[in-house]
Copies of this chain bind each other. A is one copy, B any other.
């Protein structure tokens, strides 16, 4: 009963994600997508639905990858503070070495679409909440191991780190002096004690 799909759906989704990530939703045209996904328009529509459905699929794909990416970067061999520090420092490197400057796809979407579409408001909010849980677990680990004071508010601190993460990611788009970012990181980390 019929041909099998010739293209790799996962690779196509990934290519679409790269375009939306770099250009945003409104600035991305179907022509951009066909070129980068190396697919004809009808193939895209039959596989993913319309432009918005495709966008949503790429964003959901991104959040999954992002979470596992972050989990893998928070190296458990170091102290908690050092792990978080090198995670933040890695952010700078990624963004300043490569001259792509795409930032975080979820944050980009929060700015572009969350205020105009509840679906993306919820999706982006939940992602940030999940990130804060990851930080919270780290901090709690640090408290239990005696690395941090017992009376540290792990949840509030984790939320503060998420806010810093967002601020840093966004600010880097304007390419300020690195010391600007360094100050923010070092001050934020100083809350861990």
Contacts and interface: CB of A to CB of B under 8 A. Distances in A.
Contacts of A164: 163-164, 167, 184
A128 B171 contact: yes
Given A108-B111, A112-B111, A190-B191, A168 B163 contact: yes
Interface of A: 22-24, 26-27, 100-103, 107-108, 110-112, 114-116, 121-122, 124-125, 128-129, 132, 153, 155-157, 159-160, 162-168, 170-171, 173-176, 180-181, 183-184, 186-188, 190-191
A171 to B, nearest CB: 6
B121 A173 contact: yes
A170 B125 contact: no
Contact of A176 (B23, B125, B165): B125
A55 to B, nearest CB: 13
A171 B175 contact: no
B111 A187 contact: no
A122 B121 CA distance: 29
A167 B133 CA distance: 17
